[in-house]
Structure 1
Amino acid sequence: MSLIGYARVSTTDQSADTQVERLKAAGCDIIRQEQVSGRSREGRTELETILDFIRPGDTLVVVKLDRLGRSTRDVLNLVHELDQKGASLRILEPDISTAGPLGRMVLTVLGMVAEMELGFIKERQAAGIAKAKAKGVYRGRPVSLDHSQIRTLRSQGLGATAIAKQLGCSRGAIYKAMSAE
C-alpha cells in the first residue's frame, strides 16, 4: 500500500514546492506534479499516470481539493475511478479520506463549494473588468495584428487562409479582424 502524492499549479509563475513538502511530510512514497489548469482533466498527464498505475490499497493524496479539480463532477468521477480500483483519496486540508462513507459525503459537499467559489471568482473578475471599462481604464487585449496590412492583402485578392499563412496567425484571427471593420 502506497501513498501517492499529486501536486498541481495552474500557471508558470506558481510553484508546487509547498505542496510537495506537505505531501512528503504526509508520508507520500511517490509524488507527481504538473503545471496545468484544474478546470478539466484534459492535459493532466501526471494525474492520468497516477490513475493508470494506482493499485488496490493505495491512496492518492492532495494538499487541497482544488488541486485535484475545480469541477464537482470531475472530482466525483476521480473518486469513483479510485474506488473502482480499490484505492482511496486523502485530502490534507481539511483532513478528509474517502475510505469511508462520511468522507465521501463531505468530499461531495466540498467539491460543490469549490465549484461555487470558482463561479464567484469569475463574477468578481467580470465585475472588475466592467468597472474598469466604465472608467476607460480597461481596453482589453492590445491589437496584435496590423489591420491595414490585412486590408491591403485582402484587396490584392488573397483569401483568409493565405493571409493567415503570410502573417503567421490563425484564419480565425483574420476573420475576426475583417469582421471588425
Structure 2
Amino acid sequence: MKVGYARVSTFEQDLDLQLDALNEEGCDRVFCDQGESGAKAHRPEWNNCLDHLREGDVLVIWKLDRASRSTKHLIELAEDLDKRGVELKSLKEQIDTASAMGKFFFRMTASISELERDIIRERTLAGLAAARARGRKGGRKKSITEGQMLEAKRLAEAGELSITDICMKVGISRASYYRLVTPETAS
C-alpha cells in the first residue's frame, strides 16, 4: 500500500500541489497536516500516518522537508521505517529507500537540506545584526502613538470618563487601554 503524507506550515498555504503529486503517484491513502511546523516531531496527522503504516507499505512524501526539518530526525525516521519494513519515497528529490543507492541519496539530500536551512538562518541573523548596527529596529511598528498613550493616561488619572469613553475619545481598544494604563490609575 502506498501511504502519502502532505504538510503545510500555515493555514494560508495550499496543499493542492502536494496532493496532486501524491494522487498521481497512486497513493491509496493520504494524511494531511495544515498549520503544523516540520520542526515539531509530533503532528496529529503525521502521527496517524506513522501508526497506519504496515510492513510492505511505502510512505510517499512530496519533499523531504514535509516530514521533518532536521537531518537527525529524518535519519531516525528512515531507520524506524526500515526496521518496520516500510520504504520511504520522496517525489521531489526522486529518492526511494528501496535500494542502497536510494538510502545513500536520502542521507545526502537530508544533510544538504539542513545545511541550506542553516545558511538561510545565518544570513537572516547577519542581516538583522547589520540593520541594528545602522540603528534600525525590527518588529512591527507601534499602532498607538505617544500622544494617544499620554492622552489615555491623562484621562484615566482625571477619573471623569469611563474606560469605554476614554477608548473612543483616544481611538484605542480596551486591550490597549489596559496595557497602557496601570491598575493604580484606572478608574
Please confirm whether the aligned pair reaches a TM-score higher than 0.5, indicating the same fold: yes
- 1:146 and 2:184 are equivalent in the alignment: no
Q: After alignment, is 102-111 or 127-136 more displaced?
A: 127-136
Partner of 2:130: 131
Deviation at 1:54, TM superposition (A): 0.6
Partner of 1:38: 38
Partner of 2:106: 107
**Aligned partner of 1:149: which letter?**
T
Structure 1, gaps ≥5 residues long? 154-181
Structure having the higher Rg: 2
CA distance in 2, matches of 1:51, 1:90: 14
Partner of 1:23: 22
CA distance in 1, matches of 2:136, 2:16: 36
CA distance in 1, matches of 2:33, 2:104: 28
- 1:97 and 2:130 are equivalent in the alignment: no
Question: CA distance change for structure 1 residues 133 and 148 in 2, over 3 Å: closer, same or farther?
Answer: farther
CA distance in 2, matches of 1:14, 1:120: 24
Deviation at 1:97, TM superposition (A): 0.5
Query: Deviations for 1:121-171, whole angstroms, at most 9, x for unmatched residues?
Result: 111221222233334443335677836527x59xxxxxxxxxxxxxxxxxx
TM-score w.r.t. the length of structure 2 is 0.72
Question: CA distance change for structure 1 residues 11 and 53 in 2, over 3 Å: closer, same or farther?
Answer: same
Q: After alignment, is 124-133 or 141-150 more displaced?
A: 141-150
Structure 2, gaps ≥5 residues long? 143-175
SS of 2:104 mapped into structure 1: helix
**Aligned partner of 2:77: which letter?**
L
CA distance in 2, matches of 1:91, 1:138: 41
Cα contact 1:40–1:74 (8 A) shared by 2: no
CA distance in 1, matches of 2:180, 2:113: 42
TM-score w.r.t. the length of structure 1 is 0.74
Q: After alignment, is 19-28 or 6-15 more displaced?
A: 6-15
CA distance in 2, matches of 1:122, 1:13: 23
Alpha-carbon RMSD: 2.1
Question: CA distance change for structure 1 residues 126 and 148 in 2, over 3 Å: closer, same or farther?
Answer: farther
Partner of 1:165: none
Q: After alignment, is 24-33 or 122-131 more displaced?
A: 122-131
